[in-house]
Structure 1
Amino acid sequence: MSKDSPTTSAARELAIADLRERIAALESGVAKRKGCLPFGLPDIDAVLPGGGLAYGALHEFAGGGSGTVDGAAAALFAAGVAARTKGKVVWCLTRPDLFMPALAQAGLHPDRVIFVESDREEDVLASMEVALGYGGLGAVVGEVVRLPMVSSRRLQLAAEKTGTMGIAVRRWRRQTEANDFGQPTASTTRWRVSVLPSEALPVPGVGRARWLVELMRSRAGACAEFCVGACDEQGRIHIPFGSGDRQDTSGRSRHSA
């Protein structure tokens, strides 16, 4: 019986290894998602590496101030992002105070959300890590006040393993807690959302909500700020006509589309 050549043996081993990976993915029901989730707005997507929010990564969202109004806007912005992913969304929290009709208006239907309530923020972070490692989910959202570097690294690694998007919503109860947002984390992007006066209508009434969305940090990308219309029923934001200029970190003004 003739022996295989070294080249043939190497090719066989590669084929077997590839087959094992495919079988493991089928058995676990997880197909690692790659790429990015674009906003569909050229001005925003252009400053994000890959043209959108990366899958398999952790992203941070927080209100522009320590109040509940900006915090709610940040949560809705995060909900709109999660709504545009495919699959179930796990939302981990310590305070069961989410207003589901508001999430639905931001595109995230209650039937897609699995809530995980914990007594401590440490348990929220642990639940996020487990959910991210499970795979097959659209996104994993966690509401936390603090996000230690070690915890954020664990979440980032868990997200990379399965390709699931991780979202940390930083919610403050007092101004002193908001100061923690300046501490370094392993998040790929960091966003700050502040409420602006609603869009003007040609008749008396309340127009679509507007936000100042600041990209505070983007790994291998630039920072910028945008005046946007709040998420619609599909989770999409838009740049209102005549919203003015937005600034990048170099101080140069670039017109919003």
Structure 2
Amino acid sequence: MTRISENQQLSDLRAAISGLERLSGTKAAGEVLPFGVAPLDRHLPWGGLRLPGLHELADHGSGQPYAAAAGLMAAGILARLEGPVLWVTERPDLYAPALGNVGLSPDRVLYVTARRAVAAVMEEALRHGRFAGVVGEVRQIAPIAARRLQLAAEAAGMPAFLLHRPQKREPASGLAPIAALTRWRIARRPSGPAVPEAPHVAGLASALWQLDLIRCRGAEAASWIVEACDATGHLHLSALLADGSLAPATAQPYRRAG
């Protein structure tokens, strides 16, 4: 089988983007998208997530090599914006129906497998400027390539999400510094009982995430526990947090491993 060159991939991407132009719509008003979780929005210097720019998301725990929670968080954010989405992976193993569970219809997503050219494809899409946002899954990225993505995202007024997906589990300290507005680490936490009739059956309620903001321009590192994105892409405070069953959802200092 003939191997497709990087130039051919970019050429095919331009053609696919042209076909999606009719789907392009107006993005969310302004440059900030609030999470709708008061402690989280208050902590961020923009009152929510600043859309023009690069944001890094990484799983922590057993799902780390798959970037499952990180992918769902990115999809939930993009579900609340209008227009098509470009999703770039190094290998063709994205489970698209899961995106629909957090409000991002698979029909809105253009999927690209770029092997070693994820950053180049993302940058091309950002410069085109016809997407609601761009997502790229990488095992590692050169700092200069991340810097180019940050500049391209700011110039386009679009969000770009870099999903850190290592081959093996690695500690939080394994995230090399890159030029991103925010850097998040997401860990799954045990959820509680789903119904009063089964008060001792845990794990049936909405999934819980521990969100660690490990870097943010203009804010300190912090941590929150929230319910995972729902079918509309929104995060929520868990009802279990109100009675002290779990750690409080207000910002807690985040301490780096080691």
TM-score (norm 2): 0.78
Q: 1:31 to 1:83 in 2, by over 3 A?
A: closer
Whether the 8 Å CA contact 1:92–1:128 is kept in 2: the answer is: yes
Seq. identity, %: 40
2:113 aligned residue: 117
**Structure-2 separation of matches of 1:125 and 1:143:** 9
- Aligned match for 1:78, one of 74, 83, 92: 74
Q: 1:213 to 1:177 in 2, by over 3 A?
A: closer
**Structure-1 separation of matches of 2:148 and 2:51:** 16
**Structure-2 separation of matches of 1:111 and 1:61:** 23
**Structure-1 separation of matches of 2:137 and 2:30:** 25
Q: 1:178 to 1:227 in 2, by over 3 A?
A: closer
2:141 counterpart of 1:147:
yes
1:168 aligned residue: 162
2:179 aligned residue: 186
Q: 1:98 to 1:200 in 2, by over 3 A?
A: same
Measured after TM superposition, the shift of residue 106 of structure 1 is 1.1
1:249 aligned residue: 253
**Structure-1 separation of matches of 2:225 and 2:66:** 14
**Structure-1 separation of matches of 2:192 and 2:227:** 8
Whether the 8 Å CA contact 2:64–2:169 is kept in 1: the answer is: no
Identify the range of structure 1 (98-107 vs 123-132) with the bigger mean alpha-carbon deviation. Answer: 98-107
2:124 counterpart of 1:130:
yes
Measured after TM superposition, the shift of residue 148 of structure 1 is 2.0
Which structure's residues are more often helix, by fraction? 1
Q: 1:143 to 1:105 in 2, by over 3 A?
A: same
TM-score (norm 1): 0.78
- Aligned match for 2:59, one of 35, 45, 63: 63
Question: Is the partner of 2:134 in helix, strand or coil?
Answer: strand
Q: Unmatched 5+ residue regions in structure 2? A: 1-23, 242-246
Q: 1:153 to 1:34 in 2, by over 3 A?
A: farther
Larger Rg: 1
Between Structure 1 and Structure 2, how many residues are aligned?
220
Q: 1:178 to 1:94 in 2, by over 3 A?
A: farther
Q: Unmatched 5+ residue regions in structure 1? A: 1-28, 252-257
Q: 1:208 to 1:117 in 2, by over 3 A?
A: same
Measured after TM superposition, the shift of residue 165 of structure 1 is 0.4
Whether the 8 Å CA contact 1:136–1:164 is kept in 2: the answer is: no
Whether the 8 Å CA contact 1:145–1:177 is kept in 2: the answer is: no
2:17 aligned residue: none
* Paired letter, 2:226: V
CA-based RMSD of the aligned residues comes to 2.4
2:193 counterpart of 1:197:
no
Q: 1:70 to 1:211 in 2, by over 3 A?
A: farther
- Aligned match for 2:231, one of 230, 233, 253: 233
